[in-house]
Structure 1
């Protein structure tokens, strides 16, 4: 009886929807697990031929006050904000107030030179090599949910003695670049990014509930709050965010407002009007070798099942966002979520699967990927499951751990603890159940174990080599203990042994385990620590942490 009542209660929890389409039930079914009382969820918007043909809210925007999510709810959209930054830059270029090839020091004269030609264009396309400030703050022991002063963050970025790489040599995402682009906009425009975007983008398009939020004391009507699932128990934690830096993120918006922004890509009403500025938004940056960086003006050009896509996602605290456009179909999906376990990109593709299935190219992207596999992979005899088990390295510090669980092949992404089973489809090819977007192909049998795992995804091929076991007979873990100081972060790390395990403590945070990766090299939380010795004695280490590389620490 109790269970029956609960079901009736769930069924009585109504959806707030705008517009009806025949596929609405199929779309709503994708979000059933979120459309419950006391459960965060998301808002969606589906655009076709210039109309918001379906929009809906699922779950709760404010768990403390039981406020439901609607298409009018205002979410933090994370890095989706970056396209408003690049559009502002292009508007200023149109006004003759800056040039994309201007050196950064023209607007920020105190920024280090690094003996390199750093330009606005480098910053836009993430080809600068400037270390990511969110990563630096994390490595410093700071919580990204806390308030951080603009001057404090800028000083931290300037304090870095080197770049990750020579500008233009590589693509590596850096929030520092967009944080400083906001500063450059302020210098060139003579007003804050918040005011410039309001006057030149949000207000002209009628985006009444959108803004760059640069003061966390300001009120936002209809604001959605963000949450994360509690560990090992029911319920959610409130991720209280006082973060108010703009440029790298900072925009609050709604489904209804982002629909207006989406439509401006088809018929630009901003600046001088016309599509020239829109065409520029889609141009990908070039590396020094002439190849594409793969990143346009805060837009990612791609394909899905043979259809062209233009998209960008966003994430901070428990907010998750995706704005995905299929321009040739004049079709877009907007998903804004307020729970940290949400995957708006996957949900967007699922919605597209429902509404665009008749438009997908017959020879799907996945089939094309399979035909591109090297012959020595596709022709191999099938291996038994025990021969697959082991660790396969994507890059230093990033390992796919393959194990058997209940006679199934399990993949653990050691850098983020994501775990999932994969099933055999043909030969030595495996896929995630009900998801054929990624293929895992095992090859090169040696000493009764496969030596190579090749991952195919979105037309890309990643080759992962089996990681060899180490000879640890001469290793003394006490060599690594002690205090280590980084001048660039102005922080000390304490390394100590606890119950036979090497651990690191940063500021007031809980200690993290350092896992042995190689001789004089350890990994922790997806980061790589490389110790250096002088005359056999450990003198310091260098830290690689994704968007920050070669960060130096000296043993005190």
Structure 2
């Protein structure tokens, strides 16, 4: 096991105070928080825990605390498939139906490579799960969500022509790993990745009954002075599922500079960091679950993670051999911006002048059409609509203000929709596009498009 070094910059007191200031809002015994590791040229130059891992028992966060790291898990899944290709057990260009024949034939081949770079067109399985009226942080039986995927009658687009981030892709990748290797993802990653690198506190948790030593629990900010426990029973692996610590991720970080996995040395690392391509040969801005970018003149590679109360960010500046790892257990942490703030302190002499403040959202604020519509116009949308793909029924009725439509389904909060066209209802996330006689509509939501609903009798609402 590599030791953690005490090396600091020459003006270490000022550096440390500036870094600690970033996390001050969470650094007390009444708040969850995060663990931080700052790495430069093979050494951890600063590492610390802020806030509490377990509020009920008064356990503070330390660099040894273990967190659910969300979609940062994906790069380990992509690495596993690259290792299987190196072993000659598959090709990334194989049609995925060679390994998962239960999937529908959509008329266009979908390759493993399409899955890796999110160019498959698959609708997001976790979005579909929530649209079906169930919570993604509760227990999700693997067979049920796989059946949900297989019920989808269409894709968002022809494979290879567009990009849409989809957790379905990495869930299916975990299935391929198991069917090809004969080991589930948990066992394969332990044997081929974690054990060789000495990552003794990392695991894909595919059983929510399992005890995880030093686990930090997830929380939600209910109000300014109110924290809520956000208990998570989610145990699907592939799209997420990895529990780890900043100390273990330091070992993963160092492998990018001195690769110990597989047989190809740095060639494997170069592959993992290479962007995918669309069918027309243009680059996809997504490598093997890593996003290539630039921050104030310096090259970056990063990925974020989020599930329940957990938030994570793994940011690398490869040319400087500098990294920031933040693993948190409170949903208002915003680790992406926090990581760049930390990097700006340590790399201030190398960064170009800051142009604008970063935002965690690329979605612009939009205003909804609040025009009044006669009741006869609103009545066209009223009724119950069923989706066989989701196995869920949505009920639409006129809202109390007599201006909008209220959309409801079992176990979900009602949503207010506005008329934004002669046959379209929408808000900032949903868009329902009705046919001319208002008997069917296609739903678009959060990158999932074309889900078909048909009008049914009110009595068929889910109970």
TM-score (norm 1): 0.77
Q: Given the alignment, which residue of 13, 25, 29 partners 2:17?
A: 25
C-alpha separation in 1, matches of 2:218 and 2:369: 42
Q: How does 1:440-451 map to 2 (within 5 A)?
A: none
Q: Given the alignment, which residue of 422, 425, 449 partners 1:549?
A: 449
C-alpha separation in 1, matches of 2:125 and 2:448: 9
2:178/2:184 contact within 8 Å kept = yes
Tell me which residue corresponds to 2:192.
200
Q: Given the alignment, which residue of 306, 324, 336 partners 1:345?
A: 336
Q: How does 1:54-65 map to 2 (within 5 A)?
A: 54-65=46-57
Tell me which residue corresponds to 1:520.
423
Tell me which residue corresponds to 1:295.
286
C-alpha separation in 1, matches of 2:364 and 2:428: 22
Q: CA deviation at 1:518?
A: 2.4
Q: CA deviation at 1:330?
A: 0.6
What's the secondary structure of 2:436's corresponding residue?
strand
Q: Given the alignment, which residue of 137, 155, 166 partners 2:158?
A: 166
Q: Given the alignment, which residue of 255, 269, 294 partners 2:260?
A: 269
Which runs of 5 or more residues in structure 2 are unaligned?
Answer: 457-463
C-alpha separation in 1, matches of 2:332 and 2:177: 34
Q: Given the alignment, which residue of 217, 228, 235 partners 1:244?
A: 235
Q: CA deviation at 1:508?
A: 2.7
Q: Given the alignment, which residue of 339, 350, 358 partners 1:359?
A: 350
Q: Does 1:488 align with 2:393?
A: no
2:312/2:327 contact within 8 Å kept = yes
C-alpha separation in 2, matches of 1:512 and 1:249: 28
1:77/1:253 contact within 8 Å kept = yes
Q: CA deviation at 1:345?
A: 0.8
TM-score (norm 2): 0.92
Tell me which residue corresponds to 2:204.
212
Query: How many residues in Structure 1 have an aligned counterpart in Structure 2?
Result: 446
Which runs of 5 or more residues in structure 1 are unaligned?
Answer: 1-16, 367-434, 439-456
Q: How does 1:170-189 map to 2 (within 5 A)?
A: 170-189=162-181
C-alpha separation in 2, matches of 1:258 and 1:41: 18
Per mean C-alpha deviation after superposition, the further-off stretch among 286-295 and 209-218 is: 286-295
Higher strand share: 1
1:136/1:260 Cα in 2 relative to 1: closer, same or farther (>3 Å)? same
Tell me which residue corresponds to 1:99.
91
1:163/1:29 Cα in 2 relative to 1: closer, same or farther (>3 Å)? same
Q: CA deviation at 1:224?
A: 0.5
What's the secondary structure of 1:262's corresponding residue?
helix
C-alpha separation in 2, matches of 1:475 and 1:281: 57
C-alpha separation in 2, matches of 1:483 and 1:207: 51
Q: How does 1:56-135 map to 2 (within 5 A)?
A: 56-135=48-127
1:482/1:494 contact within 8 Å kept = yes
Superposed CA RMSD in Å reads 2.2
C-alpha separation in 2, matches of 1:240 and 1:210: 20
1:209/1:253 contact within 8 Å kept = yes
Q: Does 1:508 align with 2:411?
A: yes
Q: Given the alignment, which residue of 1, 22, 36 partners 2:28?
A: 36
Q: CA deviation at 1:479?
A: 1.6
Tell me which residue corresponds to 1:374.
none
Q: Larger RCO: Structure 1 or Structure 2 (Cα < 8 Å, ≥ 6 residues apart)?
A: 2
Q: How does 1:322-471 map to 2 (within 5 A)?
A: 322-361=313-352, 366=355, 435-437=356-358
C-alpha separation in 2, matches of 1:464 and 1:52: 40
- State the 4+ residue runs in structure 1 displaced beyond 3 angstroms: 17-21, 435-438, 462-475
1:18/1:55 contact within 8 Å kept = no
C-alpha separation in 2, matches of 1:138 and 1:265: 36
Per mean C-alpha deviation after superposition, the further-off stretch among 520-529 and 487-496 is: 520-529
